[in-house]
Amino acid sequence: CGVFGIWGHPDAAQLSYYGLHALQHRGQEGAGIVVTDGQALRAVKGEGLVNDVFNEENLSNAKGYGAIAHARYTTAGGGGIENVQPLLFRSSTGTLAIAHNGNLVNANHLKQHLEKSGSIFQSTSDTEVVVHLIKKSKKPGFRAQVKESLSLLKGAFSFLIITKEGMMVARDRNGLRPLSFGRLGDAYVVASETCAFDLIGAEFVREVEPGELLVITDQGIEEDRFVEMEKRAMCAMEYVYFARPDSNIDEINIHAARKRMGRQLAKECFGIEADVVTGVPDSSISAAIGFAEESGIPYELGLIKNRYTGRTFIQPTQELRERGVKMKLSPVVQVVKGKRVVMVDDSIVRGTTSRRIVNMLKEAGATEVHVVISSPPMKNPCFYGIDTSTSEELIASSKSVEDICEAIGADTLTFLSADGLVEATGRAFDDETRGLCMACFTGEYPTEIFPDTVLPHVK
C-alpha cells in the first residue's frame, strides 16, 4: 500500500490526491482521503484507481488543512469498500482516522485478547486492532494511549492517524516499510515514497525513524518515540520491485540500486553469450540497463508494455487468460528475431510470467532466451505485506534452479545471489542501523512469527 499525509495546507485534499497519484503503483484496489478543517473529519473513498475514485466535485467538497490518504494493495483482509482506508472511527471520546501500510504479525493474537474483553470488529483488517487498543488503553491522554498501543504491535507498519487536532505518524521498530518526512512551505508532509514529494514540490527532510512517533499539530511538530529501534530490516523487495525508480529510500535511489543489481548479475552470469539484453517493463528496465553496461551486450527494447491495458474486468477463460500477458506485453520482432536474447526480470514468484514471456520471445523468433533475475529465489512467504503468495505457490520453494529453468522453457536461468543483492542496495543485511529484510529469500524473519500469524490474503 501507499500512504500520504499533510498538515497545515489549505489544499490538503487536492495535494493528497496528487500524492496518491504518485503512489498509485503501490496499490490499485482502492483509494481514500480523510480530511479535517478542525471541526470534523470527512472521508472520500472508493474501490479502484485513484482517478476512478476522486473527481473535481468530491475533492472540492473535502475542504481542510490536514489530510491522510491511502492507496490499497491486494486483497489483505478481503476486498470491499469497508476495507478501503483510511478507516474512520467515530466515538464520543474523539473521532479518528487511520491509514496503514504493512501487515502486523500479532494481529490475531491481540484480537483474541480484545474480543475476550468485549471488542467487536467491523472489518477483517488488522488495522482496526490498533484503534481498539487505543480505545481500551488506560493511559492518561491520547498520545500516551497511542504510544502504548503501538508498542504492543509486531510486524510491519507505517501508520498515519488524523484527528481534528492533528496528525500522528509512526513506523514499526524494524522499519520494514518505507516512510519519508518532508516540508511544503510551512506544511508538514509524509509519504511512503519520495516520488510523492517530487510531484507536489515538497522538500525531503528525513526518514521517519523505526520506533518513532511524530506528533504534528498547529503548534508544530514533536518528535517522540514509542519503542527503541530493533533489528533494522528495510524490505529488500522495495529496492528490487515495489518502489518507483525515481524514489529514494534512506537516500539510496531505487533506479541506481537496480542498475547495480543488473551489473552484479552480469558479473555472476559466467559465460552467457548473447546478442541483445532486454528488460521486462517497467520494473526491470533499470536492471537490464545495468546488465548491458557491465556485460557489453547492447540493451534493446525487446518488449513493449501496453500502458492502456488497465484492469481486466472481464473474467477470461483459461485460453484467454493464457493470452493475458500478450495484452500487456508485446515482443518487438525486429529486435529479437534470430537473436540470442538475455531477458532481465525482477523476480519469479509463481513462474507464470517468465514462462509466458520466454514463450513469446521464442515465437517472435529468438534463437535462445537466457533469463536473468535481479533477486534471489523466493522460497519463503512474506508476512509483512508485500508478496501475498503462500509457500506452495512459490515455485522456488519446491523446485531447484534447474527445474525452474525447465519449467519456464528458458535456455539458462540465473538468479542474483543474496550477497550480490545486499551489496547492490548499498545496505548490509546485519547492520544495526542500515539492515535489510531478506526473509523471503533466506527464511530469516526479522520479527517473531506467531503460530497464528496469517498471510495478508488468507484472512
Which chain residues interact with ligand SF4 by CB under 6 A?
Answer: 176, 235-237, 382, 384, 386-387, 437-440
User: At its nearest, how many Å lie between ligand 5GP and the CB of residue 414?
Assistant: 15
User: At its nearest, how many Å lie between ligand SF4 and the CB of residue 381?
Assistant: 8
165 Cβ neighbours under 8 A, 6+ residues apart: 217
What is the three-state SS of 226-268? Answer: CCCCCCCCEEHHHHHHHCCCCCEECCEEHHHHHHHHHHHHHHH
Q: State whether residue 314 is helix, strand or coil.
A: coil
**Residue pair 128/29 in contact by the 8 Å Cβ criterion:** no
**Residue pair 170/225 in contact by the 8 Å Cβ criterion:** no
Q: Compute the distance between CA of residue 126 and CA of residue 111 in angstroms, rounded to an integer.
A: 9
Q: What are the phi and psi torsion angles at 17 (to 5°)?
A: -60, -45
Known active-site residue 235? no
In the complex with ligand 5GP, the residue whose CB is nearer, 142 or 241, is: 241
Instruction: Report the partner that residue 34 touches, choosing among ligand SF4, Mg ion, ligand 5GP, none (CB closer than 5 to 8 A by kind).
Output: none
User: At its nearest, how many Å lie between ligand SF4 and the CB of residue 235?
Assistant: 3
User: At its nearest, how many Å lie between ligand 5GP and the CB of residue 298?
Assistant: 22
In the complex with ligand 5GP, the residue whose CB is nearer, 32 or 381, is: 381
DSSP letters spanning 379-445:
-S--SSSS----GGG-HHHHS-HHHHHHHHT-SEEEEPPHHHHHHHHT--TT-TTT-EE-HHHH---
**Residue pair 278/302 in contact by the 8 Å Cβ criterion:** yes
Site string for ligand 5GP, 253-292 (x = CB under 6 A): ---------------------------x--x---------
Considering only residues 272 to 291 of the shown chain, the ones binding Mg ion according to CB under 5 A are 280, 283
In the complex with Mg ion, the residue whose CB is nearer, 221 or 373, is: 373
User: At its nearest, how many Å lie between ligand SF4 and the CB of residue 385?
Assistant: 7
**Residue 305 engages ligand 5GP in binding (rule: CB under 6 A):** no
Considering only residues 306 to 365 of the shown chain, the ones binding ligand 5GP according to CB under 6 A are 345-354
Q: Compute the distance between CA of residue 363 and CA of residue 341 in angstroms, rounded to an integer.
A: 13
**Site of interaction with Mg ion (CB under 5 A):** 280, 283
**Site of interaction with ligand 5GP (CB under 6 A):** 237, 241, 280, 283, 345-354, 386-387
Active site residues: 1
